[in-house]
Amino acid sequence: MQDIKNNIRSYVEARREQMLEDLIRLCRIPSTAQNPAALSAAASEVAAALASCGASPRIFEIEGGAPIVYGEIGSGERTLLVYNHYDVQPADPLDLWRTDPFTPTIEGDAFYCRGASDNKGNFMARVHAVRALQAATGKLPVRIKFLIEGEEETSSAHLGAFVREHRELLKADGCLWECSWKDPRGRPILTCGLKGLCYVELRARGARHDMHSSYAAIVPNPAWRLVWALATLLDSDYRITIPGWTDEIRPPDAAASRALDRVQFDEEAFRTLHGVHEFVRRLSGRELVRQFLSCPTVTICGLRAGYTGEGAKTVLPAEAVAKLDFRLVPDMTPKKLLAALRRHLDRRGFRDIEIKEFGGVMPAATSCDDRLVRAAAAAVRMTAGVEPIIYPVAPWSGPLYDVCGVLGIPSVAFGVGHADSCDHAPNENISMDDYFEGVRCMAAFLGEYAAIP
């Protein structure tokens, strides 16, 4: 085993420049939802990358959506599904980027580009790991099925139907999910599930058009109306006040509870890194970890009403809009919670507040004791030389249920990001050392997964 490990390291070190060129080629494509041509170009580049490691790519054109790329390679008693996505978040606000967002730039050990961490870097690291393991051993110890979509950043509208239609093609024993990251101390984090998500827009309407603010004495202001409605969703201690909202929650099982108790969350490093003065309810220790990973949230993501430009403008707005996301934990369901939200607003006297749904995903989780998780942990120890931190459920969301829930398979995630990778923000980046460590970790994981009982 040590010889294989050394051969993989030698292979990766000898081909750093070539691997970097592969990563640059994919990252420079501006594959946002607003750019269909770039999405198609990125799908073709993903297919080329799969072909380069012998994974026999197929591009599935999706009516009304972005192509899905599939590839298959290897043999063995176990089959691993590898999920990633090639679409990226828009780069706005552009003026906060230190480099052009779609011109990959290396400064020291940092690689800056939109998609570097979320999610192109993770995909390419896995392709490069397959190449490295093939070179080191001549074969792969497991059968690998790649599933790469182009709509993850817009709620994966077509993925669930694709998985259900191609259930036999995608059949596997487990799934390596898209990504993870290192904490501020550089400790790799493994995630065994994802929170669900329900994203909505609340809208209050007033007069037919904006009016002079002097009319506020007699004309209702939709901005106040919306503020009053929002204030009924959460109390001043950040506790959700929607009746029935937590009724469906499944408490963490014994394995998840043990994992939560072992999570080492560096509170001071987190606050320093992100400029946070204190946590909600001044939580700390185990209570903070459980709140972060095991509790649902209600978040105002944006507010819009009236005049918000420079200087003053005395205006009574005609409408007010708030965008909210609700993070869900097992076994909460978006459909039921949307109905609960509507009932709550109606009962509180806000029947006039419109709710527009922007999509949602179910939460999903794998046992922390699953052999897939144990194999990933062993690979991290072997590669990074440290004990990984295991999150029973990651605090963000994605279409994990649409894949692993439908197929009935466990999942785990690890990746090449770090605590300040700035996913979804300006100056998205990864560490080049982390990237090549991620290549080696993926190669080790394939061997561990094939062998672990």
Percent of residues, the chain, with pLDDT higher than 70: 100
Q: What is the pLDDT of residues 344-360, one digit of tens each?
A: 999 999 999 999 998 88
Q: What is the pLDDT of residues 224-234, one digit of tens each?
A: 999 999 999 99
445 has a pLDDT exceeding 90: yes
146 has a pLDDT exceeding 70: yes
**How far is the C-alpha of 443 from the C-alpha of 6, rounded, in Å?**
12
Label residue 117 by pLDDT band (50, 70, 90): very high
Two structure tokens written together for 324: 């909210």
**How far is the C-alpha of 51 from the C-alpha of 326, rounded, in Å?**
39
Q: What is the pLDDT of residue 360?
A: 87
Q: What are phi and psi of 193, to 5 degrees?
A: 180, 180
Query: 196-361 maps to which CATH number?
Result: 3.30.70.360
Q: Which residues contact 25 (CB under 8 A, 6 or more apart)?
A: 45
Superfamily for the 2-192+366-451 domain = Zn peptidases (3.40.630.10)
Q: What is the pLDDT of residue 155?
A: 86
Q: What's the number of CA atoms in the CB half-sphere (13 Å) around residue 97?
A: 21
Segments of the chain assigned to CATH 3.40.630.10: 2-192+366-451
Two structure tokens written together for 228: 């009053």
Collapsed DSSP state (helix, strand, coil) of residue 45 = helix
Q: What is the pLDDT of residue 115?
A: 98
Tell me the mean pLDDT in the region 448-453: 95
Collapsed DSSP state (helix, strand, coil) of residue 334 = helix
Q: What is the pLDDT of residue 359?
A: 81
2 has a pLDDT exceeding 80: no
Label residue 1 by pLDDT band (50, 70, 90): low
Q: What is the pLDDT of residue 351?
A: 98
**How far is the C-alpha of 162 from the C-alpha of 170, rounded, in Å?**
10
Q: What is the pLDDT of residues 61-95, one digit of tens each?
A: 999 999 999 999 999 899 999 999 999 999 999 99
Q: Which residues contact 245 (CB under 8 A, 6 or more apart)?
A: 296, 337, 340
Pairing of strands 297-305, 319-328: antiparallel
**179 neighbors 416 (Cβ within 8 angstroms):** yes
Collapsed DSSP state (helix, strand, coil) of residue 321 = strand
| H or E segment to which residue 60 belongs | strand 58-60
Segments of the chain assigned to CATH 3.30.70.360: 196-361
**How far is the C-alpha of 165 from the C-alpha of 148, rounded, in Å?**
16
**How far is the C-alpha of 202 from the C-alpha of 137, rounded, in Å?**
56
Q: What is the pLDDT of residues 151-207, one digit of tens each?
A: 999 989 999 999 999 999 999 999 999 999 999 889 999 999 999 999 999 999 999
In the DSSP assignment, the letter for residue 250 is P
**How far is the C-alpha of 442 from the C-alpha of 449, rounded, in Å?**
10
Burial 335-361 (b: 16+ CB within 10 A, else e): eebbebbeebbeebebeebeeeeeebb
One-letter identity of residue 77: E
**How far is the C-alpha of 172 from the C-alpha of 448, rounded, in Å?**
17
**How far is the C-alpha of 52 from the C-alpha of 57, rounded, in Å?**
10
Label residue 37 by pLDDT band (50, 70, 90): very high
Q: What is the pLDDT of residue 404?
A: 98
Q: What are phi and psi of 232, to 5 degrees?
A: -85, -5
| H or E segment to which residue 69 belongs | strand 68-73
Mean pLDDT of the chain: 96
Q: Which sign, positive or negative, has the C-alpha torsion 84, 90, 93, 95?
A: positive
121 or 184, which is more confident: 121
